[in-house]
Amino acid sequence: MKLFIETFGCQMNISDSEIVASILDGEGYQICGTAAEADLVFLNTCAIRDNAEQRVRKRLRELSGLKRKQPGLMIGVLGCMAERMKEQLLEEELMVDLMAGPDSYRELPAMLLQVSSGQRVANVMLSEAETYEDLSPVRHHSDGVSAFVSIMRGCQNFCAYCVVPYTRGKERSRAPESIVEECRKLMTDGYREVTLLGQNVNSYHWQGDRSLRFPDLLKEVASAVPSMRIRFATSHPKDISDELIATIANTPNVCHHVHLPAQSGSNRILHLMNRKYTREWYLGRVKALREAMPDVAISTDLIAGFCSETEEDHMETLSLMRECHFDFAFMFAYSERPGTSAAEKLADDVPTTVKKRRLNEIITLQQELSLESNKADIGLRFSVLVEGVSKKSDQALFGRTPQNKVVVFPAGDLKAGDTVDVVIHDCTSATLLGKTV
């Protein structure tokens, strides 16, 4: 049987799709490259914003067309949208045979047996313990150079706007030994970089035979795989400690890049969002990071037009961006998610046109900041991990600096997986251009 998995949403979902592939691998399903050749198609879905769900709906309509031509095709919806909508999705999307939430993937083989006997099935039970730590992910999404390793699941921060605590359940940490072992295996298999994943990695806390927090885990992983680059995402500003900053600064193979979602620059909005930090706290953490590591890159997430946001609040977001001088950002218009506390208690009262205008101002400013940040790299030398051939020219390769910036440079006789020193001579707001030295 052939299985095609299409993944939407965040890195966590990419990692989960690799777990699903591993569970079904043992059941005789092989990954294939297109929906057209598959017996079973899974969409691993995202529910973070309405437009993320609309993309999934559009894909389901296309797959329904395919299924009319190939009635034997099985269609499954996995992940956060399945969890958010529960059985309602089966009622609305009649071509869907199966729905499974993020904690029920071990049940997939049994569920597929039911589907093959003509039933439509759903399992959206969340778990307080599931981490899939004993499974070896089948890395069908990977380039063979860089891989994701999930270190924790769930989130219980309950930011007012966010659906994740409802779709992913309670926070739980994975056993350190299984994390270290998975990283070692990646190294043996030739991988050169690993990104440790969680919704809030710095609240990682293993309490088993010993107690371990994120800085300790980072040290253990880094020393177990000294030839690999270590990255991690995402860090919540409320608990990025001095100890963690020192660990990033002092562990040679941990990359000097921190993704630190700010969401807003206004204290009033941060409070309404239930982010549990102030603008001053955030600025203090950015200062501490830059002092400990002058070459650190800091990226962020920002939301425009959250409930009751005024022009003054918006200006504070713009001024926070300037003060922090973010190297990169993901920027979004607020999208109300059913069931969240913002949806229940606050009015989504910023008009769409205003949200879009504010978002555009944020994007324009970030392009300026990214360009300045990239220009400051001209003339400097970086160690670059080669990821592959550049999209624009097969004579050029692309890779990343430790700061996570993409660099394009002439190929020479280098290949993906090599690490090379590159001097930067030019840039755009999105890419550095360099030459190997």
Q: What number of CA atoms fall less than 13 Å from residue 215's CA on the CB side?
A: 13
Segment interacting with ligand SF4 (CB under 6 A) among 8-16, 154-162, 208-216, 364-372:
154-162
Q: Does 305 bind ligand SAH (CB under 6 A)?
A: no
Q: Which of residues 21-60 bind ligand SAH (CB under 6 A)?
A: 48-49
Backbone region of residue 166 per phi and psi (left: phi > 0; alpha: psi in -120 to 50; beta: other values): alpha
Q: Which of residues 190-219 bind ligand SF4 (CB under 6 A)?
A: 199-200
Return the number of the residue (49 or 358) whose C-beta is nearest ligand F3S: 49
Q: Please state, in angstroms and rounded to a whole number, the distance separating the CA atoms of residues 43 and 273.
A: 30
71, burial (CB in 10 Å: exposed 0-12, middle 13-18, buried 19+): exposed
Q: Which helix (H) or strand (E) holds 139?
A: none
* 425 three-state secondary structure: strand
Point out which residues bind ligand F3S (CB under 6 A).
9-10, 12-13, 46-48, 79-80, 163-164, 167-168
Buried b (16+ CB within 10 A) or exposed e, 47-68: bbbeebbebbeebbeebeeebe
Q: How far is the CB of 13 from ligand F3S (least distance, A)?
A: 4
Return the number of the residue (121 or 163) whose C-beta is nearest ligand F3S: 163
Q: Please state, in angstroms and rounded to a whole number, the distance separating the CA atoms of residues 325 and 332.
A: 18
Return the number of the residue (48 or 286) whose C-beta is nearest ligand SF4: 48
Q: Which of residues 255-274 bind ligand SAH (CB under 6 A)?
A: 261, 263
Q: DSSP secondary-structure letter at 174?
A: P
Task: Pick one of ligand SAH, ligand SF4, ligand F3S, none as the site partner of residue 158 (Cβ within 5 to 8 A by kind).
Answer: ligand SF4
Return the number of the residue (14 or 293) whose C-beta is nearest ligand SF4: 14
Return the number of the residue (13 or 317) whose C-beta is nearest ligand F3S: 13
Q: Which of residues 318-357 bind ligand SAH (CB under 6 A)?
A: 332, 334-335, 337
Task: Read off φ and ψ for residue 131, nearest 5 degrees.
Answer: -130, 0
Segment interacting with ligand SF4 (CB under 6 A) among 95-103, 156-164, 407-415, 429-437:
156-164
CB 160 within 8 Å of CB 342: yes
CB 191 within 8 Å of CB 305: no
> In the complex, which residues of this chain contact ligand SF4 (CB under 6 A)?
155, 157-159, 162, 164-165, 199-200, 236
> In the complex, which residues of this chain contact ligand SAH (CB under 6 A)?
48-49, 161-162, 164, 199-200, 234, 236, 261, 263, 301, 303, 332, 334-335, 337
